[in-house]
Structure 1
Amino acid sequence: MGTTVLDPVVLRPVTDTDDAFLLALYGEIRAAELDQVAWEPGQREAFLRMQLDLQTSQYRAAHPQGSFDLVEVEGRPAGRLYVSRRPDDIRIVDVALTAEFRGRGIGGALVSRVIDEATASGRSTSIHVEVHNPAARLYQRLGFRPVARRGVYVLMERSPS
């Protein structure tokens, strides 16, 4: 898949050169949780690497038809958007932005783009959201509704109409 532009946001496939950024992003996303633990030197970084590698392999195994894109804003890495395109549904597997780029409408624009693609093809859009994730409000504003709870996650769906 090629590069996609949402001026000034660019999506491009993740490559091995993005590894350090993706690890830093993952660490930022999990910081509040991980800050509660007293880590030995190097232990936190090793844990993050292990968890990110596991998550990545699970995402790719569960969504072999998925697109795994890096989000760039004005040429700088800003986040990731992982999407699985299935016959009846387009699943947002993961969308995450660094703190620097949150609150600027980028996440909403990315999700809206996926919704537009799903709607144009007559498919629903779905996403799993952690129960206490404040982004759930954004998804509700964009027409997603909770349909199931799985552990700490809520499956939210949006019909194609």
Structure 2
Amino acid sequence: MPKLPYAEIARIEERRLAVSVAAVVACAEPIAGGWMAFDGEGSWGNFAVGLGLDGPVSGEDLDRLVAFYAARGAEPQIQVCPFAHGSLVRGLADRGFVLREFENVLARELAPDEDLRALASYGGPGELEIVRIDPGDEAQVRVFIEIATSGFRPADAPISPVLFEITRRVVAHPGCDSYLALVNGEPAGGGSVEISGEGAALFGASVLPRFRERGIQQALIARRLERVREQGRLLACISASPGIPTERNAMRLGFFMAYSKGIFTRRSESPEAPA
């Protein structure tokens, strides 16, 4: 059993996410204890998160959320934590929001003396090295972005300018560290870790297809967990769609299912807010 209550893990992670996304997008505003963010058409940074953790969410706040995205021509999307006040879900339903999908949040508590490198072993040919990216090295940053985003776009599809720019800002963020996995010097995978407040999150990891099934993703997880502990935090989270390889790899390395949150959206043809 975790030392921290599940509700406390959720409070730490949802607030970290809200503040961190707000710091790397083009436009963000605080709302109901969380943040709503927008970064342009097609960006993954277009969502609201962290609402309702401190108490009821007013109808005025939800109307403001709808207006925020309508003014930017975007479909409102909000991540709803199961520990948020019930007024949030009720208010969203009244405004035509519907549940689109779930996202699992996995957590791991770190022991001060745990041998984290022993968690994963590389099982392929050649030598594996994991290096931390220097945000000031433009060439290295470009290689990292190309590799780390490869699993989030169709095979052989070029990276979009929107995805490139927000990933560049993430890499440059002072609370973020990014790592590139090299096999005999050849880029094979990459991932980032962001440390803020009381916790940290591992995210944005990809391994190129020809290097998969060798333990590279697990090695990237282990190295980033080391970084979390180096920075004085003992809680790390990973968010993933249910059942994907990221979730399985994390659980093999000691992560547990902390909570599942709903992703709600409201289409433009949805009814207006109740009078």
What is the TM-score when the length of structure 1 is the normalising length?
Answer: 0.64
- Equivalences for 1:12-91 in 2 at 5 Å? 12-13=132-133, 15-18=137-140, 19=142, 22-23=145-146, 26-27=149-150, 29-31=152-154, 45=158, 48-57=159-168, 59-60=170-171, 63-91=173-201
1:111 correspondence with 2:234: no
User: Paired residue for 1:96?
Assistant: 206
Segments of 5+ residues of structure 2 without an aligned counterpart are 1-121, 265-275
Larger radius of gyration: 2
Kindly indicate whether structure 1 or structure 2 has the higher relative contact order, using CA contacts under 8 Å at least 6 residues apart. Answer: 2
Cα distance change on mapping 1:30 and 1:123 into 2, 3 Å: same
Of 115-124 and 101-110, the range deviating more from structure 2: 115-124
The answer to whether the 8 A contact 1:59-1:93 is kept is no
Distance of 2:239 and 2:254 partners within structure 1: 14
Using the alignment, how far apart are the partners of 1:74 and 1:111 within structure 2?
20
Distance 1:101-1:81 versus aligned 2 partners, 3 A rule:
same
User: How many angstroms apart in 2 are the aligned matches of 1:89 and 1:135?
Assistant: 19
Q: Which runs of 5+ in 1 are unaligned?
A: 1-5, 36-43, 153-161
The whole-number CA distance in structure 2 between the counterparts of 1:13 and 1:114 is 12
Q: Any residues of structure 2 matched to 1:116-135 within 5 Å, and which?
A: 116-118=226-228, 121=232, 123-135=234-246
Does 2:219 correspond to 1:141?
Answer: no
**TM-fit CA distance, 1:125:** 1.2
Q: Distance in 1 between matches of 2:128 and 2:147?
A: 22
The share of aligned pairs that are identical, in percent, is 24
- Give 1:8 shift: 2.5
Alpha-carbon distance in 1 for matches of 2:148, 2:227: 26
| Whole-angstrom distance in 1 between the partners of 2:180 and 2:219 | 15
With over 3 angstroms needed to count, the CA separation of the structure-2 counterparts of 1:60 and 1:11, relative to structure 1, is closer
The structure with more helix, counted as a fraction of residues: 1
Residue 54 to residue 128, structure 1, CA distance change in 2 (3 Å): farther
Structure with more strand by fraction: 1
| CA displacement at 1:16 relative to structure 2 | 1.9
Within 2, Cα distance between the matches of 1:75 and 1:111? 19
- Measure, in 2, the Cα distance between the counterparts of 1:81 and 1:27: 11
Contact 1:23 1:49 in 2 (8 A): no
Question: How far apart, CA to CA, are the structure 2 residues paired with 1:27 and 1:94?
Answer: 10
CA distance in 1, matches of 2:161, 2:262: 24
